[in-house]
């Protein structure tokens, strides 16, 4: 399935040497769905500078989703601390972490979508 808002080339230009193309393809549908929710599907018809901002939001969301998942341990919980000497990890858990991730993703998206009129109330 082709990316709706950004290509891997767009992403690689925006975030050089971050995620591979396969990682980009894995996170792209989630980032696009998140943009569609925030914009009530108005991003699909965006043109000009608004389309560019949607592309930038998609790239930034993919990058952030990758970073958030990279901060997880094997159990899926977010890693709070790691000790390399005798190897130990401690995790945060529960909905507070998920709520924090949601807030982070919203903040990342809004950084690019604010001022476009795409996220205003219906």
What's this model's pTM, rounded to 2 decimal places? 0.75
Tokens of 52: 């560019």
Residues 6+ apart with CB under 8 A from 109: 34, 35, 38, 57, 60, 61
pLDDT in tens, the chain (122 residues): 566 999 999 999 988 767 899 999 999 999 999 999 999 999 999 999 999 999 999 999 999 998 888 755 444 454 445 455 556 555 555 444 566 788 999 999 999 999 999 997 55
The pLDDT of residue 38 is 94
Helix (H), strand (E), coil (C) string for the chain: CCCCCCCHHHHHHHCCCCCCHHHHHHHHHHHHHHHHHHHCCHHHHCCCHHHHHHHHHHHHHHHHHHHHHHCECCCCCEEEEEECCCCEEEECCHHHHHHHHHHHHHHHHHHHHCCCCCCCCC
Residue pointed to by tokens 């000497």: 85
């Amino acid at each position: 399935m082709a990316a709706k808002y950004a290509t891997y080339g767009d992403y690689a230009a925006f975030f050089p040497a971050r995620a591979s193309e396969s990682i980009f393809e894995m996170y792209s549908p989630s980032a696009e769905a998140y943009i569609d929710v925030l914009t009530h599907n108005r991003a699909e018809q965006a043109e000009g500078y608004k389309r560019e901002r949607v592309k930038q939001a998609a790239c930034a969301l993919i990058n952030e989703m990758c970073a958030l998942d990279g901060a997880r341990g094997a159990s899926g919980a977010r890693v709070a601390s790691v000790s390399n000497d005798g190897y130990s990890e401690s995790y945060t858990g529960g909905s507070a972490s998920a709520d924090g991730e949601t807030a982070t993703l919203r903040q990342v998206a809004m950084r690019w979508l604010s001022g476009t009129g795409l996220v205003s109330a219906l």
